[in-house]
Copies of this chain bind each other. A is one copy, B any other.
Amino acid sequence: MPTPAPIRVTVWSEYRHEKKNPKVAALYPDGMHRTIADALGRETGLTVRTATLDEPEHGLTDAVLDQTDVLIWWGHMAHHEVADAIVARVRTRVLEGLGLIVLHSGHYSKIFKTLMGDTCSLTWREATDKERVWVVCPSHPIAQGLGACFELPAEEMYGEPFGIPTPDELIFISWFTGGEVFRSGATWRRGNGKIFYFRPGHETYPTYHNPQVQRVIANAARWAHSGLRIKDQAPNMPPLEPLPPDPEATSRSTQGHQ
């Protein structure tokens, strides 16, 4: 068998907190996207690039998306600065088959909300908490190599109810010291695209340096890769079998569908 082509991952991030908050800059001197991309780059079979909000077209040109199999998304304070046209472009690509991994505060990103069709709301607490991520679907590809659970000693809390459509697959549930639970890893199919939401990753904590978190994201990149790009269409179809007789056929409307 020939070696399969590598999966082309683009890691997108706002890259704002890192420039404004010294604590974040100390953790992620080149940005969270760089830390995530470096981790993915050490994996076999993945090629990785990055893109950020302040690049032209947010770094998500058609040329870049043509070369992207899986897009990873981290946003927080600047969701509203993401141009609607770029959101629409990414949405179209996801529905055609682009894989999408949405991280942490990306639950309120335009791209996640438009694909979920739901509030995407949750409860939260920006106080250092311990998060323990439990695997509830041990056989899922995204859960491989993790054991029964893993801990993040310092994280923001997100709590239920999380305003999402019923996931196709629920993979992780998080426990927080403060007393809350959260569906922290879940998948959905939209069009031909595979979507994974993963909760951890508040910017003031070293979460993306954590090996288990990196393992989840690498697993998810492989899982989300469909290899497909199928254009959306709503074709008018001739019948495959004889239709019943239609005495009024000649008076039938011929206007298009939409």
Contacts and interface: CB of A to CB of B under 8 A. Distances in A.
Give the copy number.
4
Contacts of A183: 136, 173
A105 to B, nearest CB: 7
19 contacts: A23-B248, A23-B251, A95-B163, A121-B234, A122-B234, A126-B254, A127-B246, A127-B249, A134-B159, A136-B183, A138-B161, A165-B188, A173-B173, A173-B181, A175-B179, A177-B244, A178-B243, A180-B237, A204-B252
A114 interface: yes
Contacts of A56: none
A160 interface: yes
A88 interface: no
Interface residues of A, number: 94
Given A178-B239, A252-B127, A138 B192 contact: yes
A254 to B, nearest CB: 7
Majority secondary structure of chain A interface residues (helix, strand, loop or mixed) = loop
B95 A239 contact: no
Contacts of A177: 239, 241-244
